Structure 1
């Protein structure tokens, strides 16, 4: 590991100043992704600015009915918070599905959203990777790619975003707040992650040196009846091979509102807006759910070894939506 400096920030202004003074500095939250990448030589910061002690560790209900989540709230605290469990159960379920208890106790909300979109070739310094070394090529295209993207990918990168939390936040229109030396800003999570295109090494729309300070979930009554389901290759904690965050409002057997997002299918959490449109105003039955999922997945462009994901995601969406519809009918 490259030798690096370490500074602990006491406030947001100080954290931004420390990063501005060192072009090769990085913010450090829980370190569950960054430190691993430093160990294998992918990340080589000259300075780590520890932001864990910044006053950004609260979950608060705001007067307008939104839920404000500080960037240094740990994953464990987020999943256990009564307002999250009551108002956005799919978010709590997604966080609990995301990692082991030890990792959840360390990982932060801001860090989770900024973990690198990656595959095994990203951390293999002996193999080409456009995300690690722009212009070098994508080893996954002709190599191992069974768990790679089927939506929104390009010939430059087919890695998938690993966040479970991000899938649920995407379904509920979360807004990410940040600070820079020039002042505050915010971006909807749907716009946070850049399309892959020919620059997969550029992952977010955050300005250089920006520090995520929090995430706001707007009021969404439909989210109170929501579920997150994750499929993985082993029962212990692992990245998803497919996941669904869904919420459904059903009245007299008809879908009045639907929220749907997919995970492990693209370089970012995938909001299934085509499926949502197909669901709204339609009968809340398995035929409708299957047709909506298939409409979303017509854009899929699987590789030779990951075509199974199309069937997996269709069946997973139908299963979660059916469960929600059955609960609504009770």
Structure 2
């Protein structure tokens, strides 16, 4: 690990001012991803801004604003506390399920909600500084090791010639399905609100940029609007082992029903793209339809029709279809057996 300056701040204004004009400064909260990257010499910050003393941990109902009736989740609250909070377990069980699927208990006890959104890909070519990686070494034209290498875990949607990595978060997949928004602050302007669907980026020609955060912006909270999905939702994570592992495919599925007719559907996929992948085609096909296996399969087929698998991950297309159907079935029936 390389030498760095360590600065402690106690309020949002001091935090945002501390990184203003410093492209090589990073905020430090739980550190569960950033410190690993520093140890591997992938991240090389010249200064770390310790924000753990900021009062951004509260989870509370929203009583005003665009998301009135919803919930606000503090960015510096721990993943464990979010997953076990009664408001989230009762009104947003899909989010609680995703967080609990996402990591070991030890990591959830350290990792923060805002940091979860900012974690970087676990692509092994990104972590190995001896391998070519456009995400790790932008502008140097090193190539993408995974593009022609072992790409079993990599993207089938939205990838570019420069990067085929996937976003690792489970929490972010559920938040995408639940229409979350992210609140951010900077030293140079007023509070900004970013829809979760627009928060993360596809790689295109700039794979080194993971999000649409502007330089110096700090996540302060995540907000979820009120919805009617609590009783009919499910998070399915398919992985190589049942213990702590990243998803081959994950599905966050939620339904609002009128009898057996689908009024609204929300589906987001993990493990398939550089960002949580909102399955908009599948959602649109389900609205107004009966909640049946036939309709679930039709929606899954339509969504996965645009997949572009790589040499070693074509299995994800069929796995994606079956996972979407399975997640919708469990969301509808509640039967996980």
- Alignment-derived partner of residue 111 in structure 2: 107
- Alignment-derived partner of residue 179 in structure 1: 185
- Alignment-derived partner of residue 19 in structure 1: 19
| Alignment equivalent of 2:94, drawn from 81, 90, 95 | 90
- 1:222 is paired with a residue whose SS is coil
- Alignment-derived partner of residue 238 in structure 1: 245
Cα shift at 1:21: 5.9
Cα shift at 1:144: 0.7
| Alignment equivalent of 1:266, drawn from 270, 273, 277 | 273
Cα shift at 1:136: 1.2
- Alignment-derived partner of residue 306 in structure 1: 313
The answer to whether the 8 Å contact 2:23/2:215 transfers is no
Cα shift at 1:256: 1.4
CA distance in structure 2 between the partners assigned to 1:141 and 1:105 by the alignment: 35
| Alignment equivalent of 1:154, drawn from 154, 160, 165 | 160
Q: Kindly provide the CA deviation profile for residues 111-168 of structure 1, in whole angstroms up to 9, marking residues without a partner as x.
A: 1101113400001111100000122110101111001000111111111000000000
The answer to whether the 8 Å contact 2:90/2:230 transfers is no
CA distance in structure 2 between the partners assigned to 1:57 and 1:11 by the alignment: 13
- Alignment-derived partner of residue 62 in structure 1: 62
Cα shift at 1:252: 3.0
CA distance in structure 2 between the partners assigned to 1:11 and 1:235 by the alignment: 40
**What are structure 1's unaligned runs of at least 5 residues?**
none
The answer to whether the 8 Å contact 1:226/1:324 transfers is yes
Q: Kindly provide the CA deviation profile for residues 161-197 of structure 1, in whole angstroms up to 9, marking residues without a partner as x.
A: 0000000000011000000112211100100112211
CA distance in structure 2 between the partners assigned to 1:27 and 1:40 by the alignment: 18
- Alignment-derived partner of residue 319 in structure 1: 326
Give matches, 1:77-226, under 5 Å.
Answer: 77-134=81-138, 135-182=141-188, 183-226=190-233
**What are structure 2's unaligned runs of at least 5 residues?**
none
- Alignment-derived partner of residue 75 in structure 2: 71
What TM-score comes out, normalization by structure 1 length?
Answer: 0.97
The answer to whether the 8 Å contact 2:181/2:223 transfers is yes
Q: 1:202 to 1:94 in 2, by over 3 A?
A: same
CA distance in structure 2 between the partners assigned to 1:184 and 1:324 by the alignment: 36
- 1:300 is paired with a residue whose SS is coil
Deviates more, 1:318-327 or 1:121-130: 318-327
What TM-score comes out, normalization by structure 2 length?
Answer: 0.95
CA distance in structure 1 between the partners assigned to 2:226 and 2:89 by the alignment: 14
CA distance in structure 2 between the partners assigned to 1:171 and 1:280 by the alignment: 15
Q: Kindly provide the CA deviation profile for residues 176-228 of structure 1, in whole angstroms up to 9, marking residues without a partner as x.
A: 00001122111001001122111101111111110000100011112442111
- 1:250 is paired with a residue whose SS is strand
